[in-house]
Amino acid sequence: MRGQAAGLSPTVRRLAIILLALCATPSLARAQGYIGRDIPHRGSVEASGGVTYSAGYDLGTISAEETRNTGGTTGGATGPFVLFTATSRAKGSPGVQGRLGVFLSRAASIEGGVQLARPILSTELSDDFESAPDVTATETLTRLLVNGSLVMHLTGLSFAGGKGVPFVLGGGGYIRELHEKNEVVETGHEFHAGAGLHVWYGQGKHRVGLRTDVGVSWRRGGADADDVQRTVPTAGLSLAYLF
Amino acid sequence: MRRLAAIVLTAAFVALTAMPVAAYLKLGTRAGTRTVTLKWGQMPIRYFVTDRGTTGVTSTQLRDAVGRAFHTWEGAPTAITSSEFVGFTLANPSSGDRATVIGFQNRPDLDRTLGATSFIVDTTTGEIVESDIFFNSAFAWSVAPEGAANLFDLESIALHEIGHLHGLAHSAMGETELRAGGRRVIAAEAVMFPIAFATGNIAGRTLKTDDIAGIGDIYPAPTFSRETGSISGKVTKSGKGILGAHVVAFDMQSKTLVGGFSLTEDGSFVIAGLDPGPHIIRVEPLDDGDIESFFDLTLNVDINFRPQFYDRIVVVPRGGGTSGVELKVVPK
């Protein structure tokens, strides 16, 4: 009976169209609530570039120590002799960043990014045994951070007609820090988590938007003399392009 | 024809002796208008040990302690040195017989000297022809593995003297304080620091970073210049260079100290053998002991300035050097 459908009465055909419309309406409404009907979709690409800021963080205190003369009649002091102490801090620094992400679905994407910054390493020298005046010694590092993230786009929390879309992300990365003159390299790694917001403009299949995010990066290694995990607040603002 | 000259170096002192202070210096001698570094022309260094012990130490124990000390220097990764025990001898450890002899001598007249090293050198090349070491048996010695109360550790003093035998001078990597009758070492971070630790202390059996940098500078292993770097610059006061300032580089990663001196009238210094990475630079006057333990007294060594830090972190490159570090000090 393959020809029967074509032979539906106008009433039945109208009903079918209405039912289809009713069925279609909710999904169409959801699509319009998140950026657009056609994007993002699996395989959509988001490219972004902008500025970033990593807050300063302490790098601990180390001591210049000598071997104490113990034994005999040399007194009761024990432990290493401290010539002076050095307390270091990586100052907060702006940088630039670029990211490229691919959507796995309308609500999830993976992305890789690169950040470049030039933080100042500041070391306060104090407690000198021979009373050398306290001094803060500095150097400028060049920090390259290559990372990857899984981004979950919170479509249910979108607003402004789907143009504003919050997201959360998490991932890890590789840190490469060069000391002054770029002749000594130190490496480390980081894990990060954060949240942010996309605001998209335009109507077409290609969209331009702003992306801002804040987060925390847990770092180990790099120019840090101690093998200790450091917690670093971060923030970023980028211009994004979705296609 | 070789022009030979004998040089006597008093090298290790009893605690409470007036002492010098300095980071690693190389021994040198004048060759015309230039100074040449004292060093052995060939390895292994062949040595005899006197067949004579002292109270509490047999000649065999002396040989073993000296052998361990040579072995410790040979373990320095920055340098290539070797030694060979030739045998026992009845000869005294004194210059002139063309044989390197190490042994005890009773020198009660040297009441603050634990040991000393003397040389015969070719003054045209700086090559060491002979070097003798004596340990003063007027003191009480120990070779106990854990040290012994009220006895000086023979291996520790041997390690210091054998450092001289290789051509190293004194290091100023240490702190002292004046007490009635002399100067006491509070702490040191170099075997080549001129004042010995107290009796019973065996910390002097282990080379420090400063010692290892120094021996590498004289007998560099193939990797020495490739794997380490240097810092150079000037120490100035009121715009003029000063001589004899002790400059210390503190490695912020390994947390070790290596020192050097400004060795010319314009205040120039070089600290070599440093691991790559960031360093803190500190300069201080040579005021922890006798200047003559480090420099010829005819030199105009300036000790009238305050210790000071450099206000930049200095990064040492691998296989290269960072130059232009100017340390401006102020008078006391």
| B195: in domain | yes
**What confidence tier does B17 reach under pLDDT thresholds 50, 70, 90?**
very low
Is there a single domain that holds both residue B321 and residue B268? yes
Q: Mapping DSSP to helix (H, G, I), strand (E, B) and coil, where does residue A242 land?
A: strand
Q: Are residues B97 and B207 in the same domain?
A: yes
pLDDT value at position A28? 37
Strand partners, A122: A89, A138
A132 neighbourhood in chain B, CB within 8 Å: 282, 284, 306-309
Does one domain contain both B45 and B182?
Answer: yes
Strand, helix or coil at A141? coil
- Residues B34 and B114 grouped into a single domain: yes
- Pairs of residues, one from chain A and one from chain B, whose beta carbons lie less than 8 Å apart: 137
Higher pLDDT, A5 or B97: B97
pLDDT of residue B14: 34
Q: Give the Cα separation of B250 and B120 in Å (integer).
A: 36
Tell me whether residue B192 is in a domain.
yes
In this structure, are residues A220 and A230 in contact, taking their beta carbons and an 8 Å threshold?
Answer: yes
Question: Percent of chain A, pLDDT > 70?
Answer: 81
The identity of residue B309, as a single letter, is F
Residues 6+ apart with CB under 8 A from B243: B262, B263, B264, B265, B267, B295, B299, B300, B301, B302
Strands B268-274 and B229-237: antiparallel
Instruction: Please name the residue that has the structure tokens 């440093």.
Output: B274
Query: How do beta strands B152-153 and B127-136 pair?
Result: unpaired
> Is residue B222 one of the residues assigned to a domain?
no
Task: Name the domain boundary from B192, B216, B240.
Answer: B216
Contact present, B88 and B115 (Cβ < 8 Å): no
pLDDT for position A8: 41
- Facing residues of A65 across strands? A82
**How many folded domains does chain B comprise?**
2
B92 and B198 share a domain?
yes
Does 3.30.70.1560 match the CATH number of domain A38-57+92-122+138-242?
no
B300 pLDDT more than 90 = no
Task: Kindly state the tokens that stand for A112.
Answer: 């890789």
In a domain, B221, yes or no: no
With CB atoms and an 8 Å threshold, state whether A67 touches B187.
Answer: yes
The 10s digit of each residue's pLDDT in B111-155 is: 888 999 998 888 888 899 999 999 999 999 999 999 999 999 999
H helices then E strands: how many in chain A?
1, 12
Least trusted range by pLDDT, from A122-126, A148-152, A202-206, B193-197: A202-206
B88/B160 same-domain check: yes
- Position of tokens 């910390």? B203
Are B201 and B234 contained in the same domain? no
What is the spatial distance between Cα B328 and Cα B330, in angstroms, rounded to a whole number? 7
Asked whether the predicted pLDDT for residue A90 surpasses 50, the reply is: yes
Q: Which CATH number covers residue B272?
A: 2.60.40.10
Token pair, residue B273, equals: 């053998």
**Alpha-carbon gap, residue A53 to A50, rounded angstroms:** 10
| 147-176 in chain A: CB under 8 A from chain B | none
Pick the residue of A62, A66, A129, A138 with the most B CBs within 10 A to test the interface with B by mutation: A66
Find the mean pLDDT for residues A61-86: 82
pTM for the full predicted model: 0.84
d(CA B153, CA A155): 76
Which ipTM score applies to this complex? 0.89
Last residue of a domain, which of B158, B190, B216? Answer: B216
Q: Classify the phi-psi angles of B255: left when phi > 0, otherwise alpha if psi is within -120 to 50, otherwise beta.
A: left
pLDDT at A160: 86
pLDDT at position B328 is 96
A 10 A CB-CB count for B304 gives 12
**Residues facing A136 on adjacent strands:** A124
Beta bridge partners of residue A71, listed in sequence order:
none
Choice between A2 and A218, residue whose per-residue pLDDT is larger: A218
Where does the pLDDT of residue A223 fall: very low under 50, low under 70, confident under 90, or very high at 90 and above? confident
Task: Tell me which chain B residues have a C-beta less than 8 angstroms from the C-beta of A74.
Answer: 15, 184, 198
Q: Are B30 and B218 in contact (CB under 8 A)?
A: no
How do B277-284 and B314-316 pair as beta strands?
Answer: antiparallel
What is the average pLDDT value for chain A, to the nearest integer?
A: 84
Q: Is residue B223 in a domain? A: no
- pLDDT for B182 beyond 80: no
B11: pLDDT strictly greater than 50:
no
A165: burial class by Cβ within 10 Å (0-12, 13-18, 19+)?
Answer: buried
Residue B299 included in any domain: yes
Domain that holds residue B33: 4-216
Nearest chain A residue (CA) to B176: A69
Distance CA A125, CA B313 (A): 11
HSE value, Cβ hemisphere, 13 Å, CA-based, for A11: 0
Contact B175/A129, CB-based, under 8 Å?
Answer: yes
From the list B15, B313, B317, the residue facing A137 with the nearest CB is: B313
Same domain, B69 and B160: yes
Which amino acid does the sequence have at B277? G
Per the listing, tokens 């021996």 go with B215
The percent of residues above 90 in pLDDT, for chain B, comes to 72
Do B205 and B239 lie in one domain? The reply is: no
Contacting residues of A for B312, CB less than 8 Å apart: 137-139
Strands A108-117 and A57-68: unpaired
Gyration radius of chain A over CA positions: 29
B101/B147 same-domain check: yes
- At A222, the pLDDT band (50, 70, 90 cuts) reads confident
Lowest mean pLDDT among A52-61, A176-185, B143-152, B211-220: A176-185
The whole-number pLDDT of residue B25 equals 63
Pairing of strands B277-284, B308-309: antiparallel
Q: Are B140 and B123 in contact (CB under 8 A)?
A: no
List the single residue in A with minimal CA-CA distance to B196: A69
pLDDT, position A1:
36
Token pair belonging to A22? 């009713």
Mutation site, A82, A83, A128, A228, interface B, largest B CB count within 10 A: A83
CA B15/CA B150 separation, integer angstroms: 12
Which of B160, B182, B216 is the endpoint of a domain?
B216
DSSP annotation of B245 reads -
Cα A63 to Cα A65: distance, rounded to the nearest angstrom: 6
From the list A35, A122, A46, A127, the residue with the least C-alpha distance to A83 is A127
Q: What is the pLDDT of residues B56-110, one digit of tens each?
A: 999 999 999 999 999 999 999 999 999 999 999 999 997 678 899 999 999 999 8
Structure tokens at B69: 């000390």
Residue B141 lies in a domain: yes
- A26 pLDDT band, cuts 50/70/90, is very low
From the number of C-beta atoms within 10 Å of its C-beta (0-12, 13-18, 19+), residue B81 rates as buried
Contact B201 A225 (CB under 8 A): no
> Given pLDDT bands bounded at 50, 70 and 90, which one contains residue A77?
low
Residues of B with CB under 8 A from a CB of A: 15, 147, 149-150, 173-175, 184-189, 197-201, 203, 208, 250, 252-253, 255, 257, 276-278, 280, 282, 284, 306-313, 315-318, 320, 322
Answer yes or no: do B255 and A137 touch at CB < 8 A: no
Same domain, B212 and B232: no
Position A24 pLDDT exceeds 80: no
Statement: residue A38 has pLDDT above 90: no
Judge whether B287 and B307 are in contact, CB under 8 Å.
Answer: no
- With a CB cutoff of 8 Å and minimum separation 6, the contacts of B182 are B15, B16, B17, B18, B19, B112
Q: Which residues of B touch A178 (CB under 8 A)?
A: none
| Residue A203: φ, ψ to 5° | -125, -15
Cβ atoms of A116 and A103 within 8 Å: the answer is no
Q: What is the structure's pLDDT at A41? A: 84
CATH of the domain at B167: 3.40.390.10
More confidently predicted of B112 and B30: B112
**Judgement on whether residues B193 and B256 belong to the same structural domain of the protein:** no
Query: What number of other Cβ atoms are within 10 A of residue B220's Cβ?
Result: 17
By percentage, how much of chain B surpasses pLDDT 70? 91
Contacts of A121 in chain B (CB under 8 A): 278, 313
* Range A214-236 average pLDDT: 91
Coil, strand or helix: which one is B155? helix
Structure tokens of B207?
Answer: 């080379």
Q: How far is residue B133's CA from residue B147's CA, in Å, rounded to a whole number?
A: 21
**Tokens coding B237:** 């006061």
